[in-house]
Amino acid sequence: NGTAPTAGSSLSTTSSPSASASTSATSTSSYESAFTGISVVVAQNATSCYALPTPTASLHESLLNVTDRTPPYIDAFYLNETTHSVQYLRLVDNATNPVLVDVSDPSRLGIVDKAGNVLSIDSDGLHFASANCSPKIDVFISGFFQQLNALTNSTCTNTTDIPVNGTDPRRLPVFKGTLAEMAQDAFDITLHLKDQCGNPARADLPVSVALGDTQCIVLPGATGDFVANCAFPGSGSNSMECETSVQQTLDHLTQGSLVGSCPPLTSVWSLLFQQLVSVVNVDQLLQPFIDAGLQLGSDAGRGILSVIDSFINLYDFSAATFKNSTSGSGSGLGDIVEGYGVTTIKSEVCHSLISTETLNLTFTAGTSTTPISLANITALPSTGSEYERNVTDPTALACCPNANACIVQDGERFYPPEASIPDSDCLCGKTLEGGGIGFRTGRCVGYDQCNSTSPCTGGGVCLVDNCCGFNVCVNGTECSTPKAAGMRVNLFGAKTSGGLF
């Protein structure tokens, strides 16, 4: 884009000292338009102008099925490889030529034809440029967005920001109520869970299941069973990020506004088409070049005229595509979108992301805080998959498989290393019933003694063959949520009577 001209004469001409003359001119003629403060600035050889912010080769191209489609139609979307957000969409015009629409910046709209000629709209006005910036024409309109608001009697309401990936601060404003429901499938899985004692998990055990970043709905079923209903591919998946962005883009172009302005783009294009007739035409865009000395009969003159013709064709196609229409869809682009169906467009654009994405199906339960993988999902699973898993219930007894007895050797009493419970500071001792129980603390005192006729109370478990020399009660659940610490194999020391263990 150029720089808006300052107040001065109605026409100025400058030439560069280079061998290849670079001519620029500014026209501030009075135009028949509701817009005020219009200035046309032209440059025969500009040093810079609009360019696509990202080459299409660096983006993911998703093609639509255009079999039996009659131009104009949409044939492709270009997505950011990382965020899966739409950067450009490609139209095919009535002459079957491609036209790229840049929606990467919600405060500006860029439209590029097959030759690289560009029409862009931003807060300064309209800008035309050839692929090599020769020529470049800026139609500056003072306070453009403010004038748009006033001329359309618009206020900025009825829009909402819907983030695609949560990282890009530049988000397309989406018309409230238009974000269609995402087309997702669903499947059920059943978890058969047993606690550390081999018993079916209690129904109120905290259990969660997720597919990728999307949580599933989990409900208890039969004893020890938990049924999870999961959406595929899930709202946090690449394909759903893509579908959200496609929906945003279509809403933006058919019902949304440029950031910083209030009226919808359809109204903006209608207003431009009505009020810039005396500005955006071949004669008016050509005149500043002629005033600056351009000879129409020269090669340069014929070249400039040809490019301006292309600018006008691009402008006319853009207006026909984006301005208000009498159809129920609101605009030419709305008609195109309606012809496909939004759901079809989203599905076709984002299908390739589903086919290449692997989603991890995970669960957490009981004391687990790190998700545990169940399966890697690349396609919609058949409903009814079942998984058997063991979990640790912090309210259940700390059963353990490697029950050991205290060893008495050379006057020392200790549990062998194999009594250690992995990843904890607990030992696995023997219960009165012959099973294993994890324990961490206890006292070799008379009132803690137990036997088959004098069982432990308050959730205690009777520990036999321990280093006290008699049965004692220990906390039966303290090792169900073991704390990480160093293991002391000789837990009792030489003296056990009344000692702490």
**Chain segment 212-221, per-residue pLDDT in tens:** 888 999 999 9
Q: pLDDT value at position 183?
A: 55
Categorise residue 333: left if φ over 0, alpha if ψ from -120 to 50, beta otherwise.
alpha
How much is the average pLDDT of 399-418?
91
Tell me the domain boundaries of the chain.
11-161+241-354, 185-232+358-390, 397-501
Distance from C-alpha of 480 to C-alpha of 438, rounded to nearest angstrom: 8
**Chain segment 110-121, per-residue pLDDT in tens:** 999 999 999 999
* Structure-token pair, residue 415: 């549990």
Task: Pick one of 2.60.40, 1.20.1300, 3.30.70, 2.40.50 as the CATH number of 185-232+358-390.
Answer: 2.60.40
Q: pLDDT value at position 285?
A: 96
Is the pLDDT higher at 340 or at 487?
Answer: 340
pLDDT class of 289 with cuts at 50, 70, 90: very high
Q: pLDDT value at position 482?
A: 61
**pLDDT of 374 higher than 70:** yes
Of the chain, the percentage scoring pLDDT greater than 90 comes to 63
**pLDDT of 382 higher than 90:** no
Task: Give the predicted TM-score (pTM) of the model.
Answer: 0.65
How much is the average pLDDT of 88-112?
97
Among 125-129, 157-161, 176-180, 452-456, which stretch is predicted with the lowest mean pLDDT?
176-180
Residue positions counted in the chain: 501
Q: pLDDT value at position 232?
A: 85
> DSSP secondary structure string, 344-400?
HHHHHHHHHHHHH--EEEEEEETT--S-EEEEEESSPPPTTEEEEEE---TTS--B-
How much is the average pLDDT of 23-36?
77
**pLDDT of 497 higher than 50:** no
Only one residue has tokens 């005149």, namely 287
pLDDT class of 26 with cuts at 50, 70, 90: low
State the average pLDDT for the chain. 84
Residue 353 φ then ψ, to 5°: -70, -35
Is the pLDDT higher at 10 or at 300?
Answer: 300
